[in-house]
Structure 1
């Protein structure tokens, strides 16, 4: 199942940190990737494959402290 990626939106990582998803950019060798910035120190910019942004995670994983279904999910203020 393909998930739609929303750009110019806040998203939460399964470990609880917030990111701003800027855009989908095209890498010359690897095709589409997502451009994110972390909203925590050191406030870096990151490039990740779109598949990573939309992948499911194991609900019982010790890293999944937010008990989310996907590695990144849109942040709605909760």
Structure 2
């Protein structure tokens, strides 16, 4: 969902640094359907699945902040 939304936002914003070599087929209809489809899937997943996904995301964020951030070289 977010990938499709980002394609629409970047193309419509006309930012200088965004110059893709590939043109998405069916733009913007296909991307809009992807956003809508992703939203429908999230609604239909159920509470336990959503809580599991949130738990994995929060656990990954905690691991990054506690361990990986200090070991990552920024360039």
TM-score when normalising by structure 2: 0.25
The structure with more helix, counted as a fraction of residues: 2
The structure with more strand, counted as a fraction of residues: 1
Choose between structure 1 and 2 for higher RCO, CA contacts under 8 A separated by at least 6 residues: 2
Structure with the greater alpha carbon radius of gyration: 2
TM-score when normalising by structure 1: 0.25
